[in-house]
Structure 1
Amino acid sequence: MSANPTLPSLDSSFRHNCQRVFEAVQTVITGKPEAVTNAMVVLLAQGHLLVEDVPGVGKTMLAKSLARSVDGSVHRIQFTPDLLPSDVTGVSVYSPQNHEFTFHPGPIFANIVIADEINRANAKTQSALLECMEEQQVTVDSITHPLQRPFMVVATQNPIDSEGTFALPEAQRDRFMGRISMGYPQRDDELAMLSSHHRDEPLQSLVPVLRLQELVRMIDQVKLVTVTDRLSAYVVDLGRASREHPQVQLGASPRALLQWVRAAKSHAAISGRDHVLPEDVRAVADMVLGHRLILTRRALADGVEPAAVVQELLASTPVS
């Protein structure tokens, strides 16, 4: 197959900048190129990322290294059961000198927010993120405060540990464009990690490789990637098929389809194309759809995994 044309709206710096971020994160996260690529897809699509896996595989490290590679503001929130919504969004404090309330922004006011162990906060605190993630704004005391652009939440959670945790509600999970799992590294990658990490901490030496203005420009250019009516119909057909699948209780929402298209456009841009192909839609399918599918009790009892349902949907739904 001949090489696809590069985006006419992009210069050669787009691919170069993508490669720089990829290589910078790879210095910290060893042997996980797919996870790093998917994180970049979500970043350039202006979505939010949920990193879900067992302890100790680099969830928080991936979030930190991605944030440090971009020269923007980064705030980390450690979610705990006693965390209050105002600890996230901010609070209005009365000033006796001015006889008025002054808003003190919370840590959500940053370009990249690391929500570490998000499922350890209660539902009330988790709900404080709903407006932030969907509308990129915070409303406190009936006053709306816009968030910075770009804005991305990178959340981590451990799906195994249930002690002191609160399951993410469907509305919250649906606001994450993608969910990825790190998995255990290969043996050679673990050996390389031990060799490099015992001398120093790679994260401490990671410096920004992308200016914030460059990131904003790349995000704007990704929006110009072409999606044909045929590809849009393909995504809609996949979404509708997920709602009608016998093993699925709750399928893809309209928001999920919008974010699916945005992720596919970002994947196409990173691959150097000015248009989305079916391969782009399929490449991000599990990341975008897997955490949104709510399976029936029978399917769960039979040990069915959402990833298997996603692959079945891709195999049974043709491009019209």
Structure 2
Amino acid sequence: MDDLPMAPRRDGQDAVEALINAVQAVGLAARTTVDGTDQRPDVLVVLPDGRTLAVQVKTASLVTADSAPGQLRRWSSSAEINVVPLVVADRITADGRDRLNGAGWSWLDLRGHLRVVGPGLFVDTDVPALSKPGPARRGFGGRVSIELAALLLLNPTTRIGVRTAAMALARAPSSISEALAALREANLVDANHMPAVPQLFWELAEHWRPLSEDVASIPAPGRARENSVLHLGLDDVESTVGWALTDTVAAAFYGAPVSMRADHPPDFYVPDQTVLRRAVRLLGPATTPATRAGRIRAAPVPMVCAQRVDGTAWANEWPLANPLFVALDLAQDPGRGREILNMWNPGRPWHHVW
């Protein structure tokens, strides 16, 4: 059977307990209601004058400026009148907090900040960090979870079963089941294994840390022996494994609004660390920024170099990494990365999942 059994949902209960702990940390009393459901409040906060403030709790793994509008639409459909809506999340980005504030929502970032705004109460303060390393947080950092997240984001509109994913990733079905359960408990995939977009993308970006080296030269025509040793894979690009152009230069070919010089050093993914070490040895290490001709990165997942895009007709002779992996690289730029991704949609046949 290709379906996973439904995992028990503990998110709501854990979130309520976390909120009560946070409220108590700022010197207020709080208690659960008899039956916290979508039809009644989950928590009653006791104000200094004895009145109570009813709070309805929603949960998320991650809230960002991009994810907040869709999340708020879903949550608001079951919001109650005269009840303070509050989201408890493992992580809420700075711009995600601004979106929640602007929408009149209270929130608890489990990394250590509570904001509750309601009649007779205004709290906006740091609290002890409440995140606990549960299964979802432990599991995502593993290689199987990273590979699975990439596979799901490459096919965000297709349901991928356990056996199908196991075959695609050359992993044991039990490993896939465990990783899916962890992602589901973190609200990063649903019961049908469909990815939560863009939450899963940004969570994957947090774990996207390829090993890289700057080199003093890059492969070029006329270096037949070197190019063969480096396994460039310039023939039958979409059915072979080889180097893939990524980051800024690749993003420009895909139409992303990046600015760069004509001689911007290219970034390449190579299949593994063995090829990376061989490339540095043959092409020479760049000892200073001025001598950097390019950057070589070991692909974090095999799909990067096994599912390349042949852009010969519209880009250049270099095979391109799939836009998903290019976007993950752009997301590492704390300055303009998110701004560029907000304005970039690569269009069909690719998927905009950020």
Where on the TM-score scale, by shorter chain, does this alignment land: which range? under 0.3
Quick check: which one's helix share is greater? 1
Q: Based on CA coordinates, which of the two structures has the bigger radius of gyration? A: 2
User: Given the two structures, how large is their TM-score scaled by the length of structure 1?
Assistant: 0.24
User: Given the two structures, how large is their TM-score scaled by the length of structure 2?
Assistant: 0.22
Greater relative contact order (Cα < 8 A, sep 6+): 1
